Each structure stands twice: as structure tokens, then as C-alpha cells.
Amino acid sequence: MEHINLVETFSEFKEFKNIDRETMMRIIEDVFRHMLIKKHGSDENFNVIVNIDKGDLEIWRNREIVEDGAVEDENRQIAYSEAIKIEPDFEVGEEVSEEIKMKDFGRREILTIRQNLMSKIQEYEKDNIFKKYKEKIGEIITGEVYQVWKKEILVLDDEYIELTLPRSEQIPSDFYRKGDTLRAVVSKVDMRNNTPVIVLSRTSPSFLERLFEAEVPEVYDGLITIRNIVRVPGERAKIAVESYDDRIDPVGACVGMKGSRIHGIVRELRNENIDVINFTSNPTLYITRALSPAKISSISINEGTKRADVYMKPDQVSLAIGKGGYNIKLASKLTGYEIDVYRDTDFDNEDVDLQEFADEIDQWIIDELKTIGCDTARSVLDLSTEELVNRTDLEEETIKEVVRILRAEFE
């Protein structure tokens, strides 16, 4: 029996691991039925039998036996004289099943079938990948770095599906080599030119949220709810948590004994500082907690404009602003209020450590003033511009700018 042998073709399909046996058989049958319709006008009287294990396929055509000269449709009918050549015992009115041989298709048709088969399976595979990862948006994926380029990293998952991690979605201090293991969250899944494009992210707040779910059982179980997360990737993050169970300390549970739970997350995020605070619907208390570790003297809130004026001791201002201004920026994002920090006027007569002006005055200038014994703002203002120029290596214009900044502190 001459079958249409597809062993070579089937072996090519082994790389498509996301297609199950039944689907593969259905795709193969559909491709051949399409060819039969094209060749004979109909496939209704054909039986297509696929055997993936043996790597072959059989096609049988069923036709009704009619009297010689009475054939009206050669695809559905066969003359009696032709039928008895197949089986001498046939009679008019019976049905003949005849196998379609490979030679009946022709070389060009066989090549077309193979191309259509490969195209259909690739299309199904791509659609399957798209649907699979569409459901995984927001989940953490662990993959292997396959290629590192300037603008993105190509990552392979455990099924060798290609994922991309753009430079914009990487933490600034991330550094990977080929073969490294990488963790990221599925950020976006698109179809471009009929090809699924899966984009990963390590900067998304949802990545931090999934890490907390993985490290803190109470978060995973829903005993602790994450209300909001804001990040400056690689620098600082603030996360507001709450629990409806009074027996659970949400902040303590997230941090863990001696920081055991949060340390792993911090390492994964390249030593990103993470502030975990208790969520509250009281805006004054919420802003106070969000500006931690700075201590606040008083707050004035305008609900209409969503602005908050925060007053604090001079030595707390730099803590509230934070390195690079990240602390106050994140506190504003977390609470939803535009926060402005002011030095409390009740402390106008107090002196202010010169180091508190590091966000306005270059450190080398502060160091130069300290060498002549000026450690505070008033100690600098007590000296004349001429004396400061003579006693330091600073230019007169620099001295005047420093004095202007320090005087503004006490105005």
C-alpha cells in the first residue's frame, strides 16, 4: 500500500512543543482536506486518516457504483466496469473505497501541502504563545539570557520561547551576560507582523508586588493587602500595606525578622531602598508616614488642590527631601498629594548645620568652609564677605551665592 509518507515532515514539527497530538492531527487533516477541495471540488466523500506515531497518512475516496455510461460526477461515482477491476464482487449501487496514492497528487501539490502544513502549524504555535503569555501579564518569569544588545536583552524561557527585556525596563545597575538567569515580570504582549512580542520589565511596580507575594506568605494569602507601590528603579521604593486582621502587623510581616524577608527583594532590585508603611485613609497620617524617616512638626492640607504644606525642623528637611529628591517625590506619588516642605518658623532663631544645605551648596564648598571652623549657617553669616574670601580659597562670587542661600534660610 503506497501511503503519503510524512515521517520527514513530522520530524520537523517536533520543535513545536506547544501543540498537542490531537491538534497536530487536526491541522494535518485540515490541510489535506483543503487540497482535496481544490483538486476535486469537494472533500465530503473522502476519509483522511492521520497516524502521527508511524509518520504516515491515508486518504480514501468513497464513490457509488453506477452503470457504465451513467457517471455524472467522477468524484462521487464510478462506472461498474472500473469498480470490478478493484473488486470483482462489486455490484451496481454499492460503495467503493479507493485509496488516493501519492502519485495522484503530483510533485508540485506535495510541496504545496508541506508548505501549507508548516505555515499552519507555525501560525497555531504563534497564536498559542500569544494567548499563553497574554494570561501571564503581571506574573514573574524566570528565563535565561540568550543575547545582550545595546537596547534590549533577548531572554529564553524554559520552553525556548523568545522574550525581550528593553533597556528602558531594566534597573539602571542591571548587568547581564549570556547564560545568566534573569527574573522579570511580563509587562506587555503584542502581535507584530503575525509574531508574538513578549516584553518583560524589572522596573514596573507590579514586579515589586510579585516579589512581595513570593517572599511574604501573608501577602500571597491575601491577609496583607498592598494598597500602592511607587518606585524609582534601583534607587528607592515606597509600598503601602494594610491588614484587616488586627493580629497581623503588616509592616513587620513584610520586613520579616531582622529584615529576613525584605533582604532578598532588595538584592533582586540591586539594593533598591524599600520603605514599607502602614496605609491609612487619614491623609495627614498617611503623608507623615510617607515622608519617613523625617519627623514632621505640622501639616496643612488643601483637599481641593490636593496639596500639602509640611513644616518641620531644619535638620529634618534634608531627610524629607532625600537623596536626589527621591523621598519627597515618591511620597507625593504614594499619597496623591503635591507635597511642599518648609522649615518650621518656630525654629528661626536656631542655627542650622551647614551639611543640611548639601542639596543647594556643593559639598566641596561646604568642606572648604568647615576647614575654617564654619560648621553652621550662622557661623558663616557672622563673617564678612571679605574675611571669608581671605580665609578660604573660594571666589567672591561663590561666597556671595553661599551667603544668599544661608540668609534665605532665616528669612
**Mean of the pLDDT values across residues 44-64?**
77
Per-residue pLDDT at 2? 42
Mean pLDDT of the chain: 86
Q: Is 251 a member of any domain? A: no
Per-residue pLDDT at 12? 55
Q: Is 120 a member of any domain? A: yes
HEC profile for 202-236?
Answer: CCCHHHHHHHHHHHCHHHHCCCEEEEEEEEECCCE
Q: CA–CA distance from 65 to each of 61, 99, 177 (Å)?
A: 13, 16, 71
Instruction: Using the predicted structure, report yes or no on whether residue 1 has a pLDDT greater than 50.
Output: no
3-state secondary structure of 181: strand
Give the span between the Cα atoms of 25 and 176, in whole angstroms: 41
Give the DSSP letter string of 69-101: T--S-TTTEEEHHHHHHH-TT--TT-EEEEEPP
Phi, then psi, of 148 in degrees rounded to 5 = -115, 120
Are 39 and 91 in the same domain?
yes
Cross-strand pairs, 232: 236
Give the span between the Cα atoms of 164 and 200, in whole angstroms: 6
Pairing of strands 56-66, 77-79: parallel
Are 384 and 400 in the same domain?
yes
Number of Cβ atoms within 10 Å of the Cβ of 140:
19
Per-residue pLDDT at 387? 86
**Mean of the pLDDT values across residues 253-261?**
92
Instruction: Using the predicted structure, report yes or no on whether residue 15 has a pLDDT greater than 60.
Output: no
Q: How confident is the model at residue 110 (pLDDT cuts 50, 70, 90)?
A: confident
**Mean of the pLDDT values across residues 164-189?**
96
Per-residue pLDDT at 246? 87
Per-residue pLDDT at 267? 94
Per-residue pLDDT at 145? 96
Among 61-75, 96-110, 219-233, the range of highest mean pLDDT: 219-233
Q: Which three cell numbers stand for residue 274?
A: 524599600
Domains identified in the chain, total number: 4
Q: Is 273 a member of any domain? A: no
Give the end of a domain, one of 116, 131, 146: 131
Which amino acid is it at 247?
A: R
Q: How confident is the model at residue 379 (pLDDT cuts 50, 70, 90)?
A: confident
Are 298 and 383 in the same domain?
no
Are 112 and 37 in the same domain?
yes
Give the end of a domain, one of 183, 201, 219: 201
Instruction: Using the predicted structure, report yes or no on whether residue 98 has a pLDDT greater than 90.
Output: no
Are 336 and 363 in the same domain?
no
Per-residue pLDDT at 284? 94
Instruction: Using the predicted structure, report yes or no on whether residue 14 has a pLDDT greater than 50.
Output: no
Judge whether 341 and 320 are in contact, CB under 8 Å: yes
Give the span between the Cα atoms of 262 and 211, in whole angstroms: 9
Are 156 and 71 in the same domain?
no
Q: Is 168 a member of any domain? A: yes
Are 14 and 104 in the same domain?
yes
Give the span between the Cα atoms of 201 and 212, in whole angstroms: 16
**Mean of the pLDDT values across residues 181-192?**
95
Per-residue pLDDT at 20? 67
Instruction: Using the predicted structure, report yes or no on whether residue 7 has a pLDDT greater than 60.
Output: no
Instruction: Using the predicted structure, report yes or no on whether residue 261 has a pLDDT greater than 80.
Output: yes
Are 340 and 405 in the same domain?
no
Per-residue pLDDT at 190? 94
Give the end of a domain, one of 108, 131, 154: 131
Are 193 and 112 in the same domain?
no
Phi, then psi, of 205 in degrees rounded to 5 = -55, -30
Phi, then psi, of 348 in degrees rounded to 5 = -60, -35
Per-residue pLDDT at 288? 95
Q: Is 267 a member of any domain? A: no
Per-residue pLDDT at 322? 87
Give the span between the Cα atoms of 118 and 127, in whole angstroms: 14
Instruction: Using the predicted structure, report yes or no on whether residue 164 has a pLDDT greater than 50.
Output: yes
- Of the two residues 406 and 254, the one the predictor is more confident about is 254
Judge whether 153 and 141 are in contact, CB under 8 Å: no
In CATH, what number is assigned to the domain containing residue 180? 2.40.50.140
Among 22-31, 115-124, 323-332, 350-359, the range of highest mean pLDDT: 323-332
Instruction: Using the predicted structure, report yes or no on whether residue 17 has a pLDDT greater than 70.
Output: no
Number of Cβ atoms within 10 Å of the Cβ of 14:
7
Question: C-alpha 358: how far from its chain's center?
Answer: 37
First to last CA, the chain: 103
Pairing of strands 56-66, 95-99: antiparallel
Return the percentage of the chain with pLDDT > 70, whole number.
91
Instruction: Using the predicted structure, report yes or no on whether residue 3 has a pLDDT greater than 50.
Output: no
- The stretches of 44-169 forming alpha helices (DSSP H) are 80-86, 107-134
Give the span between the Cα atoms of 379 and 71, in whole angstroms: 117
- Of the two residues 6 and 107, the one the predictor is more confident about is 107
Q: Is 231 a member of any domain? A: no
Q: Is 263 a member of any domain? A: no
- The stretches of 228-313 forming alpha helices (DSSP H) are 250-255, 260-268, 283-290
Lowest mean pLDDT among 97-111, 278-292, 293-307, 386-400: 97-111
Residue 389 structural domain: 354-410
Q: CA–CA distance from 270 to each of 55, 149, 234, 275, 373 (Å)?
A: 51, 20, 6, 15, 39
pLDDT tens figures, 313-351: 877 888 898 888 899 999 999 999 999 988 775 555 567
Are 127 and 140 in the same domain?
no
Are 166 and 189 in the same domain?
yes
Residues 6+ apart with CB under 8 A from 19: 13, 27, 121, 124, 125, 128
Q: Is 275 a member of any domain? A: no
Per-residue pLDDT at 411? 65
Q: How confident is the model at residue 138 (pLDDT cuts 50, 70, 90)?
A: very high
